[in-house]
Chains A and B, each alone.
With several copies, the nearest count.
Chain A
């Protein structure tokens, strides 16, 4: 539970969806993240999306690694099974789960450290395999849970709260996912529900590996150069005791902007990110074009958001493996055990 004021998830009404579930049925435990953490906004978007999709909550399996982001599955879909696995290895656990029962919806939640640093290998290979899932990275460029070190998505040259400067090339998970064969690749911003909720819904509907990179500012440690030149008790205080002694509760950062537009979002500490939303006429089906589009905007200092690449009628892992329609975890003795007669023949062939 959390003990500082934070934006509650609102319930304008107790409206019910086609299955008769209210939005509450898609909620989880109360968040223990920092007030104003972008991850909470993403949890809200996930709740909204699944509510609108009319999915029975218990037919979803939530899997995550380790991190503040990976904690969030506790805060949504309380009636789904969840698995907080080990750091950076959620993709393999999700793959196994997906093999065991092809009938559930698999939602993988991870962080940039969890997926781009320790987990890069598994991230890459799960995309290649076309596992039927929605894979969300709550991307804040830092390791939140371990107190603000750089992750592999941190911009080159950015400065950490401790003053360290990042010298490594940042990893763009969207570019990576496309080159690795993911068939649904999107990016959004935690505070942009208008864009994020529909993307999550589309990702769930997609058959195959769907990846969404969600920029999600970290209240406590976000690593953009602090620009508040004004005198600030708290900053000065934290600097002098040189650890994060006091964390100011914040409001979540929200933004709304139209397709085709670019928008500069100011973060809690005054840093900014410039987002560019793909336009209505953008064609996500051309892989080469998508990569070029990303590269040009990157060069222009813009981060592209929206559905960036889509390979619509793609085959998933089960198609490739040609597994039976019945979930493997539902097969019984007779389906599985060949019995003694077969064994007699086998023995004979070994003499």
Chain B
């Protein structure tokens, strides 16, 4: 195997991938690796690729070190930390030519198992551990820290940053801090002796991280729910949404415990299933509490009947849908944006629902809070459409912000005073012409404002009727209400290309991470596209205007059936032929490389770049 010297030094711009075994303690070690680089002021984009398993199956952690601060996956690997014999061949194959392969050389391997075009860095990790530790579990646990030490030497990562992180992580557990320090040093020394450190790919301190924080979207959503005034959460464990409900619990313990009594200003129910979760949310919201559930596709499927009831009974319910690969028994640990139709038109009958699409944890926090205002204002279910990539991955993202002047908008709720004053109350009466009626909380007034809640078969005063005209009247009001929703959901973000163009591109959610990088690449390639990032459904007119203002508009989605395109065509009544789908749905987060390639290809076909092509003539 070759070990020639690389001339071209690449600082703060490379991809390291860790191949590990699930439950072997690597997760925390790899996390330290990423965070140490961040502490050096160098941005990273890190992603965990894990199986539907608790212990024993392969798991990967990919860290893109990117001084430019790109947030998506780049594709390709420069340094592979191959700690899992079972996936060795696949892992080795994934390396870019000229890359580096770090592995445990305790057991010798056939030369055939290596590649000629990569540099091999073997280190007898098991041997070192066996020599140092007696307890089997310690041997396994500290092996991770030892390779972390080696990497810090190879990539020039400041060990003091790692040690500081030890201190924070094991606060008060001196024995652990010590043991980890020793293991780290051991790894560093061994690497410094064995290899020419640092490698051409290396980390150099910088100031590109700034105020940004490193956090996952599920935590951000949970925090958003706290700030949004949610008091009731009902959920059923479902990957990848479980950690959302669980962090809501931990944030509430910190932020919502009554100082005086030590009692809780919130209630969390782990229900028996998703039907019960949404039922609890509906009951709580009907009774005036802000309530939410966190779930994923299979849960949304089970909630369909209740969602129809909530639409017709006009109950403000908030759902966080952390989308994953479909269906129920498939790809729970993979990411997708494939529940758009099942959420937008959830339930049988004529129903339409409000969706909002955050692009990263920062926006997830903001939208997570806003969702409750939207739900109360519109008296209807609101879906915060996340995905596994946003929800379960740690993102380097702008810090959370809150305007203390802001007040919770509880929407149209008629008070005891108003009722007492004789104000006319009709639960389904469109008093303001915006399609939104007033509601009362149960128990408000001894003799006024009580009503019986039903799906339909009711008139404007909530009296039972099976009359056709009353039904139509109510259904049309619901459409007016949906009209009103257009101006309340977050507006799309529209930005012009650097050069005038007749083509555009539309995306939403986690795709943004790869999009900006791809658009930069396309511009270099002479392909200029005006941009629209969708953030809410139903769509404001600006969406249709953007599309009709261009000859061709690419729609980038992470699903098979171009579901967002369907929503736009249905709701905006535009000609589908203008929309060109770029679809990625293998369960991995979409990459800039993929988008760039696909758009460049189709751009030629659809003759998107006339200027450039004439220039070439």
Residues of A within 8 A of B (CB): 1-4, 6, 29, 32-35, 56-59, 61, 63, 66, 68, 73-74, 78-89, 91-101, 103-104, 117-118, 120-122, 125, 129, 143-147, 149-150, 152, 162, 164, 219-220, 231, 233-234, 236-237, 240-241, 243-249, 318, 321-325, 328-329, 331-333, 335-340, 342-343, 346-347, 350-351
Contacts and interface: CB of A to CB of B under 8 A. Distances in A.
A194 B211 CA distance: 63
11 contacts: A3-B86, A34-B55, A66-B328, A81-B442, A95-B280, A100-B288, A118-B273, A328-B266, A338-B256, A339-B402, A339-B404
Q: Lowest 6 A-B CB distances belong to which pairs? A: A96-B283, A92-B279, A100-B289, A329-B288, A81-B442, A246-B25
B382 interface: no
A207 to B, nearest CB: 17
Contacts of A32: 53, 56-57
A120 B387 CA distance: 30
B229 A99 contact: no
A66 B329 contact: yes
B598 interface: no
Contacts of B287: 61, 96-97, 100-101, 104, 329
Nearest to B138: A233
A325 B407 CA distance: 23
Given A103-B443, A233-B138, A321 B267 contact: yes
Given A56-B446, A237-B176, A351 B213 contact: yes
Contacts of B171: 240
B421 interface: no
Nearest to B242: A146
Given A243-B27, A351-B214, A335 B288 contact: no
Given A82-B450, A82-B451, 6 more contacts: A3-B21, A103-B443, A118-B236, A125-B276, A237-B176, A331-B229
B284 A99 contact: yes
Q: Which residue among B23, B211, B268, B329 has the maximum number of chain A CB atoms within 10 Å of its CB? A: B23
A99 B443 CA distance: 14
B371 to A, nearest CB: 15
A343 B401 contact: yes
A145 B242 CA distance: 11
A53 to B, nearest CB: 16
Contact of B329 (A86, A96, A245): A86
A66 B273 CA distance: 13
Contacts, number: 338
Contacts of A346: 223, 400
B363 to A, nearest CB: 15
B291 A246 contact: no
B231 interface: yes
Nearest to A220: B54
A244 B400 contact: no
Contact of A96 (B258, B291, B305, B440): B291
Contacts of A129: 269
A347 B400 contact: yes
Nearest to B255: A338
A198 B27 CA distance: 42
A79 B176 contact: no
B54 A93 contact: no
Contacts of A333: 229, 407-408
A240 B137 contact: no
Nearest to A30: B56
A333 B406 CA distance: 9
A35 B56 contact: yes
Given A234-B141, A321-B267, A347-B213, A84 B446 contact: no
Contacts of B234: 92, 96
A98 B213 CA distance: 38
B256 A336 contact: yes
Contacts of A66: 328-329
B263 interface: yes
Nearest to A118: B273
B227 interface: yes
Given A34-B23, A99-B232, A338-B226, A323 B53 contact: no
A96 B285 contact: yes
A96 B286 contact: yes
A346 B24 CA distance: 30
Given A233-B137, A342-B255, A343-B402, A247 B54 contact: yes
Contacts of B169: 240-241
B451 A81 contact: yes
A144 B403 CA distance: 41
Contacts of B84: 3
Given A101-B442, A243-B27, A337-B227, A80 B401 contact: no
B130 interface: no
